[in-house]
């Protein structure tokens, strides 16, 4: 940090089990990836190449190399996994992970209809090759999953070998954990937390109000994902109680008295 | 493309008559223009320098050169044409196109009140100098043009020598083809398509839901415009059925069965 | 400007007392800061490092140097001032301004509850060290300040030595001067202007409709703030009547007749 301020919550250090930030790259150029690493590299634990953007982005191997040299792992968005699965190309997908030297992969079923036993089998198989992030929740706003089901799906996927589970929200933050307005399904979140340890969950929270909700509920070191590259620095200030939204949250009572 | 996936719709190749993407630059720096060309150059058919941003952007000639060297034509937004016309400076405008070595120009009347005969005369005159894109639709949300009028205006402008006609939406996608909420006027679109060939129309569709609407209606190779530079890669994945929104659209029925 | 257009309102030149544009940097990299200066340097009078982003942004001294070499002063967002004040670290804050060679500072109370006498005392003290911008308005959407109070606060802060006063809106433009929808509290603005000279006020106006409101009300040379880096060129065209929104505003009556 550039200077000293008191009463700032302690952040975990890399490699982080909690306080983890996942950024979403939806098509950065090489220089933009370098800019991103310069400013936000310290605060980003992993980069997701959003959905199947890796299929069309030029210079993919060079971009992955920029992140890897900065010590930031990269993985393909779950939609790419699903695109291979639905086409019967799982073996191609496994080879693709090796081709790009990736050590993380996402298993999801946000756009496909897949038996949960089969999803867990994919998690088990991929977990022998890479660290698996599995995602729960549909991209279809009309498919509402009740809280007890979120819990049982998450638990089964962790049992199958997922390192962490991701709560779905899309790039826009308007499905899954959230209502179409972006409002958090707070009852759902609280019920999930009665059963699943908070450090095992990455909450996709692209909107500022969503990030603020989770930080106020779970503290500076909650795991958050789908953060746009230019929102990493703002998010870090929210975690530290240094933006208006969480300004008072980490201060002691005396500091909050009226200044006269 | 970086790897093989089956059941991906075939895209047209440059120079494209359909499947055309028009990007909007509203003030990129030289390095940002280079970044853009690196990532999105293959997928962009033409760059519009939005409205009159070219009046104030520094290094204009160098920026145009970056796009031209990448084989991407550049044109000034229609509002600049209108700004010259309303001031009686049409000859200055024609000289300006030559000064910057531009081979495309837009003729529009989104902010001015102009007799349609006169608009068509400008199209005819400019068509002797450059390839003309003409735009139909007002930037004023309260000026609703009925569908039969859209059709007759578009047909007259094509007859006058416009290469393609553009459906107005503004940078925000909230007028013309769309309601103030961004929702597509789908009846209008369908009625236009009964009379005007789809490859002659460029639909301004800056919002993702608008792009998805047109791709579902008209396929991967619909002409779309007013795409922000950092949305070109995402749009390409939507065209290819590789983002959640169109994930199932291009798949054969068998692929869509529940995976067990 | 790159070419000649008639009937364009005259803009003030640097150093500007009115027609002033304040940009908000919320975490640009060094190269992004250079890109910004290349394109928008001429049109930006001062850069705010938003709230406490300067605490976490790497290469802070080098970034400030890029702006200073371009002749653009830099200051820390008011939330950082408040973060030091609430912790009893005012002397540290004063040293920080010197450490980074800053000649401007903001005094605000958007996130804290502070006696207004004390706020004015901070303005007086800092005015001996730097040029002070003071901000009126709460970041809390529920704290509504009536117009007569805005006026008396602004006047007292100018009397205490503030160079200009800023009307609060946040990065999103949804508090203070604006309703939660972003709509301008136009009655408030008009009442303020009956008492405070317009050149002494910087209106935070991050949304386009807000910028258009102020330019239509107060002309091309109104002072505007919280402008995102990639919106500086668009804003300049709005000031000059060269975007649809203000296209007719600066034209003489004859130009506005129907073209035939």
Cis ω before C170 (30° cut-off from 0): no
Question: Does a structural domain hold residue A161?
Answer: yes
Question: Does a structural domain hold residue A10?
Answer: no
What does the pLDDT look like over B14-37, one tens digit per residue? 999 999 999 999 999 999 999 999
Residue-wise DSSP of C51-71:
TTHHHH-TTHHHHHHHHHHTT
The reported pLDDT for the residue numbered A171 is 86
Question: Does a structural domain hold residue C102?
Answer: yes
Partners of residue B112 in chain C, C-beta under 8 Å = 247, 259
User: For residue B51, what are its two tokens?
Assistant: 């409205």
Domain extent for A142: 21-256
Q: How many Cβ atoms are within 10 Å of A203's Cβ, its own excluded?
A: 27
Q: A233–C84: do the CB atoms touch at under 8 Å?
A: no
Nearest to A258 among C110, C111, C113 (CB): C113
Torsion sign over Cα B183, B188, B193, B198: negative
Question: CATH code at B220?
Answer: 3.20.20.70
Closest chain A residue to B252, measured at CA: A87
User: For residue A260, what are its two tokens?
Assistant: 């006269």
Q: DSSP character for C258?
A: P
Nearest to C52 among A31, A36, A243 (CB): A243
Number of domains in chain C: 1
Identify which of A14, A13, A11, A40 has the alpha carbon closest to the alpha carbon of residue A25: A40
Q: Residue B146 contacts by C-beta under 8 Å, 6 or more apart in sequence?
A: none
Question: Does a structural domain hold residue C69?
Answer: yes
Q: Using a pLDDT cut of 70, give the percent of chain A over it.
A: 100
Q: Is the pLDDT of residue B246 over 90?
A: yes
Partners of residue A21 in chain C, C-beta under 8 Å = none
The reported pLDDT for the residue numbered C92 is 98
User: Which segments of C100-200 does DSSP mark as H helices, in order?
Assistant: 116-127, 147-159, 186-193
Q: How many Cβ atoms are within 10 Å of B21's Cβ, its own excluded?
A: 23
Stated as kind and residue range, the H or E segment containing C129 is none
Stretches in chain C below the pLDDT threshold 50: none
What does the pLDDT look like over B60-109, one tens digit per residue? 999 999 999 999 999 999 999 999 999 999 999 999 999 999 999 999 99
Q: How far apart, in whole angstroms, are the C-alpha atoms of residue C45 and residue C16? A: 7
The reported pLDDT for the residue numbered B82 is 98
User: For residue C192, what are its two tokens?
Assistant: 């303020």
Q: How far apart, in whole angstroms, are the C-alpha atoms of residue A79 and residue A105? A: 11
Flag whether residue C36 sits within 8 Å of chain B, measured between CB atoms. yes
Closest chain C residue to B27, measured at CA: C233
Q: How far apart, in whole angstroms, are the C-alpha atoms of residue B23 and residue B39? A: 13
What does the pLDDT look like over B137-167, one tens digit per residue? 888 888 889 999 999 999 999 999 999 999 9
SS3 of A151-183: the string is HHHHHHHHHCCCCEEEECCCCCCCCCCECCCCC
Mean pLDDT, residues B170-178: 89
The reported pLDDT for the residue numbered A141 is 85
The reported pLDDT for the residue numbered A216 is 97
The reported pLDDT for the residue numbered B76 is 98
User: Which segments of chain A does DSSP mark as H helices, in order?
Assistant: 30-40, 53-56, 60-69, 78-86, 90-99, 116-127, 147-159, 186-193, 208-218, 232-239
Compute CA distances A214 → A185, A233, B63, C255, whole Å.
11, 17, 43, 55
A-proximal residues of B, 175-234, CB under 8 Å: 230, 232-234
φ, ψ of residue B89 in degrees (nearest 5):
-115, 40
What does the pLDDT look like over B190-202, one tens digit per residue? 999 999 999 999 9
What does the pLDDT look like over A159-174, one tens digit per residue? 999 999 999 998 888 8
User: For residue C219, what are its two tokens?
Assistant: 């002309």
Question: Does a structural domain hold residue C49?
Answer: yes
User: For residue C108, what are its two tokens?
Assistant: 């605000």
Compute CA distances C121 → A49, B154, C55, C114, C161, whole Å.
51, 65, 25, 11, 10
Q: Using a pLDDT cut of 90, give the percent of chain B over it.
A: 92
Q: A42–C51: do the CB atoms touch at under 8 Å?
A: no
Across the B:C interface, residue pairs with CB atoms under 8 Å apart total 103
Q: DSSP character for C10?
A: P
Compute CA distances A62 → A9, A109, C148, whole Å.
36, 29, 59
Q: Residue B141 contacts by C-beta under 8 Å, 6 or more apart in sequence?
A: B174, B175, B180
Partners of residue B247 in chain A, C-beta under 8 Å = 79, 82-83, 111-112
Q: Residue C79 contacts by C-beta under 8 Å, 6 or more apart in sequence?
A: A242, A243, A244, A247, C51, C52, C108, C110, C111
The reported pLDDT for the residue numbered A142 is 86
Q: How far apart, in whole angstroms, are the C-alpha atoms of residue C204 and residue C213? A: 12
What does the pLDDT look like over B49-58, one tens digit per residue? 999 999 999 9
Nearest to B237 among A53, A110, A115 (CB): A53
The reported pLDDT for the residue numbered A195 is 97
The reported pLDDT for the residue numbered A138 is 86
Flag whether residue C246 sits within 8 Å of chain A, measured between CB atoms. no
Question: Does a structural domain hold residue C3?
Answer: no
Q: B2–A53: do the CB atoms touch at under 8 Å?
A: no
- Whether ipTM > 0.85 holds is yes
Torsion of the alpha carbons at B194, B196, B199 and B202, rounded to the nearest 10? -110
Stated as kind and residue range, the H or E segment containing C39 is helix C30-40
The reported pLDDT for the residue numbered C152 is 97
Q: Chain-centre distance of CA B45, in angstroms?
A: 9
Mean pLDDT of chain A: 96
Question: Does a structural domain hold residue A4?
Answer: no
Question: Does a structural domain hold residue B157?
Answer: yes
Torsion of the alpha carbons at A175, A181, A186 and A189, rounded to the nearest 10? 20
Q: Using a pLDDT cut of 90, give the percent of chain A over it.
A: 91
Q: Chain-centre distance of CA C5, in angstroms?
A: 29
Closest chain C residue to B86, measured at CA: C255
Closest chain B residue to A90, measured at CA: B5
Q: How far apart, in whole angstroms, are the C-alpha atoms of residue B255 and residue B242? A: 14
């Amino acid at each position: 940090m550039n200077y000293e301020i008191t009463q700032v919550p302690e952040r975990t250090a890399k490699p982080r089990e909690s306080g983890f930030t996942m950024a979403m790259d939806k098509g950065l150029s090489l220089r933009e990836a370098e800019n991103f690493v310069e400013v936000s590299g310290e605060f980003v634990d992993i980069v997701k190449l959003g959905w199947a953007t890796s299929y069309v982005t030029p210079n993919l191997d060079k971009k992955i190399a920029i992140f890897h040299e900065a010590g930031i792992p990269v993985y393909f968005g779950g939609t790419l996994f699903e695109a291979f699965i639905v086409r019967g190309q799982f073996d191609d997908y496994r080879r693709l992970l090796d081709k790009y030297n990736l050590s993380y992969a996402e298993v999801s079923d946000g756009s496909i209809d897949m038996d949960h036993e089969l999803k867990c089998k994919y998690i088990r198989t991929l977990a022998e090759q890479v660290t698996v992030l599995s995602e729960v929740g549909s991209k279809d706003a009309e498919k509402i999953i009740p809280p007890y089901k979120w819990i049982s799906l998450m638990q089964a996927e962790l049992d199958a070998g997922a390192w962490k589970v991701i709560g779905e929200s899309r790039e826009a933050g308007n499905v899954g954990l959230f209502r179409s307005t972006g409002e958090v399904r707070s009852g759902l979140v609280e019920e999930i937390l009665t059963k699943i340890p908070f450090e095992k969950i990455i909450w996709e929270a692209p909107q500022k109000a969503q990030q603020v909700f989770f930080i106020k509920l779970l503290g500076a070191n909650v795991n958050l994902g789908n953060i746009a590259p230019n929102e990493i620095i703002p998010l870090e200030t929210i975690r530290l109680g240094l933006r208006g939204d969480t300004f008072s949250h980490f201060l002691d009572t005396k500091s909050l008295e009226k200044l006269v």
